[in-house]
Amino acid sequence: MERRTTAKQLYEQRKNYARSSNIKAETAQYHVEHLSTFEMDRKEGLVNLEDGIRRLRLLDSTGKIWTQDMLLQVDERSVSLVDIESKEELENFTLVSIMSCQAVLTEPNYSSILALTCTDVGQARPDLHLFHCVEVGAELIKNDIDSAIADSKDGRKNRRPETLRFNQERMRMSPSPRRERRASTRRATHQLPTAAARPTTRAHWTEIRTASASTRRSDETPEMMAKRVDRDVDAQAESRAYEQMALLVSNFSFSWSRWNATRGAHQLVMQVTLREGEEAAGGDAWGLLLVTAERSCRLRMSESAPAFTDELPDGAELHSTLCHALLAARDSTPAEMRAAATATPALTSTLRQLLASTRVLSYC
């Protein structure tokens, strides 16, 4: 049965925290639930925080999230995870090992998520650690960690004390993160036994993380594995391509190209045609577009060509962006230029997020 904290108990905990001597000593501790840890591996489809949150949703929807209560402590040197009952340190992240610290406040099942991306010396790939913040909001913990990192880099101690005072005021004025979850999700979400029933040691914590990682990899469906290719797509080129595809949807349609999977890490290939009177992909009206982080251009070859070549059509030029390559290639009318320039932010943002979430240029 899931433990419940009454409103009065939660208020007293928050009040005691705000008054605690830990603040004065510039060592703060926060009650969090560890949700999961992911290794950031492009081959596993994990490149950024959005990929990690998407994987969290997948595991949560299948009841594969095992939460563990712990304390997250922040001081002038590190961020550490501590067992609530035994007070044993489970893991320690030095401030220099923290690559990024982000707060996610948009997930319906976990209203306040703290995301730490960390890497140790000699570690090939960074780890993404996700925590559900129980009593103090993720944005306040993020501010604390960010200020500790800033002071560590500057060699001063002037930002964090002010941040902690600001956090105290915010905690007095604002409610705690929403602890309740939907009933259907609560039935599918598991919680590890508390330390009182099963003391957590560093070795046990490492065992949990290892077992969790193996479960995540086994959750990949055959369909997902079939689409995953052994190919390290340039993240900057891919992100810029999605942004500009979203801007151009009023005039152009884009489609898969069989040549995309053959081009290595730094080149993306797609088919493109005008939306008006478009025909099935691969037809004569469809052309090929080559996109990299530095340039974009139309290609002379067609989708049905026997071999790939990066030759340009007669009179064609290299352009800095996908937008320029398409609009300049066909002497766009003023109306078409305005359509691309005045696309509604809501539409382009939604399309960009959909493209970035599905990563169609990486998995085709």
What DSSP assignment string belongs to 54-95? HHHHHHHHTT--EEEEEEEEE-SSEEEEE-TTT--EEEEEEG
Say if residue 160's pLDDT is above 60.
yes
pLDDT range class, residue 198, cuts 50, 70, 90:
very low
Phi, psi angles (nearest 5°) of residue 289 = -125, 130
CA distance 80 to 287: 54
Instruction: Catalogue the E-assigned strands of the chain.
Output: 28-39, 66-74, 78-82, 89-94, 98-104, 113-118, 127-133, 190-191, 252-255, 268-274, 287-291, 296-298
What is the average pLDDT across 333-342?
Answer: 56
Query: For position 117, what pLDDT does the model report?
Result: 95
CA distance 299 to 269: 10
Query: For position 148, what pLDDT does the model report?
Result: 92
What is the average pLDDT across 137-166?
Answer: 89
pLDDT range class, residue 349, cuts 50, 70, 90:
confident
Domain ranges of the chain: 7-225, 235-358
Torsion, CA 322, CA 324, CA 329, CA 331, rounded to 10: 140
Q: Please answer whether residues 268 and 292 qualify as being in contact, where contact means their C-beta atoms are separated by less than 8 angstroms.
A: yes
What is the average pLDDT across 154-174?
Answer: 83
- Residue with the larger pLDDT of the pair 166 and 219: 166
User: Count of residues for the chain?
Assistant: 364
Query: For position 248, what pLDDT does the model report?
Result: 83
Exposed/middle/buried for 30, CB within 10 Å: 0-12, 13-18, 19+? buried
DSSP, res 23: H
Going by C-beta distance under 8 Å and a sequence separation of 6 or more, which residues neighbour residue 92?
Answer: 78, 79, 80, 81
What is the average pLDDT across 38-57?
Answer: 87
CA distance 332 to 248: 12
Query: For position 184, what pLDDT does the model report?
Result: 35
Say if residue 54's pLDDT is above 80.
yes
Q: How many CB atoms lie within 10 A of CB 204?
A: 16
CA distance 276 to 252: 8
Q: What is the pLDDT of residues 187-197, one digit of tens each?
A: 345 555 443 34
Say if residue 49's pLDDT is above 50.
yes
Q: Which two tokens stand for residue 211?
A: 């077992």
Residue type, 269: V
Of all residues in the chain, the percent with pLDDT exceeding 90 is: 22
What is the average pLDDT across 70-99?
Answer: 93
Of all residues in the chain, the percent with pLDDT exceeding 70 is: 70
Which residue in the block uniquely carries the two structure tokens 């099935």?
280
pLDDT range class, residue 364, cuts 50, 70, 90:
low
Please state which of the four CATH numbers 2.30.29.30, 3.40.50.970, 1.20.120.530, 3.40.50.300 is assigned to the domain occupying 7-225.
2.30.29.30
What does pTM read for this prediction? 0.51
CA distance 245 to 10: 47
pLDDT range class, residue 147, cuts 50, 70, 90:
very high
pLDDT range class, residue 122, cuts 50, 70, 90:
confident
Query: For position 216, what pLDDT does the model report?
Result: 43
Query: For position 200, what pLDDT does the model report?
Result: 59
Query: For position 226, what pLDDT does the model report?
Result: 42
Of the candidate ranges 141-145, 261-265, 278-282, 353-357, the one whose mean pLDDT is the lowest: 278-282
Collapse the DSSP code of 281 into the 3-class scheme (helix H, G, I; strand E, B; otherwise coil) and give the result.
coil
Say if residue 67's pLDDT is above 90.
no
- How high is the mean pLDDT of the chain? 76
What is the average pLDDT across 82-94?
Answer: 91
Range from 103-107, 262-266, 310-314 that averages highest in pLDDT: 103-107
pLDDT range class, residue 282, cuts 50, 70, 90:
very low
- Residue with the larger pLDDT of the pair 87 and 62: 87
Helices 235-248 and 345-358: angle between axes, nearest 10 degrees: 140
Query: For position 197, what pLDDT does the model report?
Result: 43
Q: What's the angle, vertex CA 356, arms to CA 93 and CA 337, rounded to 5?
A: 135
Say if residue 233's pLDDT is above 60.
no
- Residue with the larger pLDDT of the pair 225 and 139: 139
Say if residue 211's pLDDT is above 60.
no
User: Measuring CA to CA, how many Å separate 26 from each of 45, 75, 87, 161?
Assistant: 38, 6, 18, 7
